[in-house]
Amino acid sequence: MQQRLDKTHDAHLRSWVESANPVAGVAASDFPIQNLPHGVFRRAGTQEAWRGGVAIGDYVMDLAAVLAAGLLPAMVEDAARKAAAATLNDLMALPAPQRRALRAALSDLLVEGAVQRERTARCLLLLADVEHALPARIENFSDYYSSIHHAINVGALFRPDNPVLPNYRWLPVGYTGRVSSIRVSGVDVTRPKGQLKAPDAPTPTYEPCKRLDYEVELGMLIGTGNALGTPIDIREADEHVFGVCLLNDWSARDIQTWEYQPLGPMLSKSFMTSISPWVVTLDALEPYRTGFARPDGDPAPLPHLWCETMSERGSIDIRLQMYLQTSRMREAGEAPHLISDSRFTDAYWAMAQLVAHQTSNGTNLCPGDLMGSGTLSGPEPLSRACLLEMTQGGKNPITLPNGEQRGFLADGDTVLMRGYCQKEGAVRIGFGECRTTVLPVMQP
């Protein structure tokens, strides 16, 4: 396995921030010193300026304060200023070696025994005391359809005679999503209204969505872009990805069924997309690189969508989980209940292929652009990563521990997405959470 590991990945590294360290080999936090994800924050309930920070254990390290205290070597100060800004686009735009140098310097500040420990500790704020903004000024958003398990299950519901169309195995199918309604975890979603038409109804009606669904996805935030007219070579594609967050592509299935032919989803998905606040860098994910392969017998990708290194390191072993808590559960103090558990390694299309495909016609990517992986379902029943699939279109509702049932989401439901990477010999790193509560439809 080709892994490009450096000292920041060393599984023996511990931080002087105790909450970041595993306890008896078991992770106590999503944010050990091997992770160092970037996000944008301010103290909750204040009108302070938004600024960039890095998560460590139960804390966020305020990079503006770190810079003001002169704690970083001069060679990474420019990158740190960009990482301390209210949006991280300029950090994302930096060449990968400069971002890696910043990561190494931040690791040096936080490692056990660091000489600047006392002064650095003054730059930490408790995560519990901060609120988040979107990590970047996102100018473009595309959402893909990378899981063939999802495509088969959902396709069977939308197009029983023709679930997976012939293009699926040749190119990563996707649609252009809406940017203005992308929100960070913690922002509630309002149930949309839209045109619905039951198969046997003569005409559509305009009313509240009755089949509100989530989609468990990963979001890729683009680092350096490309010039218009110059495709990104697949061998370079990973270098253009800054990092990964959790993404929930909210979907109104009844609006979707009626509107999507022939141009694809529009209002059924444009009312909101939620992402987690912390962006886990591709550098942090390096120990979790793993091979990527096509199922036997499937056509080999065209040359611009394949390169030699992919079979060795084309995928990343990321686990994704969705939890549901109804308002009754919340009132009774019952914890969110696990409803799906899936893996990015089950995807049919890899990140590098999405980047190469998107730019293959010369389209330019911009730093901070967002690409959704698509719903990351796997082959097992618990790995169906949206309710449409999980309940076969609402026909087989899930039953929660308190006896409540759900075919689709009800008002007051909270969905909570988590993600992590874990394996023998490496430190577990997590993505934090993406949490959203469903509010009733807006009355005109």
Does 266 engage in binding with ligand LGMQ2O6W (CB under 6 A)?
A: no
User: Are the C-beta atoms of residues 366 and 139 closer than 8 Å to each other?
Assistant: yes
Tell whether residue 213 is a contact of Ca ion (CB under 5 A).
Answer: no
Specify whether 240 is catalytic: no
Distance CA(362)–CA(379), nearest Å, equals 35
Identify which range of 54-62, 150-158, 239-247, 315-323 contacts ligand LGMQ2O6W by CB under 6 A: 150-158
Q: Which of 215, 238, 283, 341 binds ligand LGMQ2O6W (CB under 6 A)?
A: 215
Crossing angle between the packed helical segments 74-83 and 96-110, to the nearest 10 degrees:
100
The three-state (H, E, C) secondary structure of 338-360, written as one string: EEEEEEHHHCCCCHHHHHHHHHC
Interacting partner of 150 out of Ca ion, Mg ion, ligand LGMQ2O6W, none (Cβ under 5 to 8 A depending on kind): ligand LGMQ2O6W
| Residue ranges in contact with Mg ion by CB under 5 A | 249, 269, 273
Residue 190 assigned as binding residue: no
Phi first, then psi: what are they for 218, rounded to 5°? -105, 145
- Beta-strand pair 205-208/212-213: unpaired
Token output for 398: 């899930």
Q: Which stretch binds ligand LGMQ2O6W (CB under 6 A): 24-32, 40-48, 149-157, 301-309?
A: 149-157
Decide if residue 249 touches ligand LGMQ2O6W (CB under 6 A). Answer: yes
Please report, for the chain, how many H helices and E strands are present, in that order: 13, 26
d(CA 384, CA 18): 36
Give the whole-angstrom CA distance, residue 360 versus residue 339.
37
* Residue 375 touching ligand LGMQ2O6W (CB under 6 A): yes
CA distance 119 to 362: 48
Candidate list 32, 89, 91, 143; residue touching Ca ion; CB under 5 A? 143
Whether residue 283 is annotated as binding a ligand: the answer is no
CB of 144 to ligand LGMQ2O6W, least distance (A): 7
Ranges assigned E (strand) in 249-298: 251-252, 273-275, 280-281, 289-290
- Local structure of 174: helix, strand or coil: strand
User: In the complex, which residues of this chain contact Ca ion (CB under 5 A)?
Assistant: 143, 215, 249
Q: Which residues are part of a known binding site for substrate?
A: 145, 159, 256, 260, 375
Q: Which residues are part of a known binding site for Ca(2+)?
A: 143, 215, 217, 249
Q: Could you list the active site residues?
A: 150
Q: Which residues are part of a known binding site?
A: 143, 145, 159, 215, 217, 249, 256, 260, 269, 273, 375
User: In the complex, which residues of this chain contact ligand LGMQ2O6W (CB under 6 A)?
Assistant: 143, 145, 150, 154-155, 158, 215, 217, 249, 251, 260, 265, 374-375
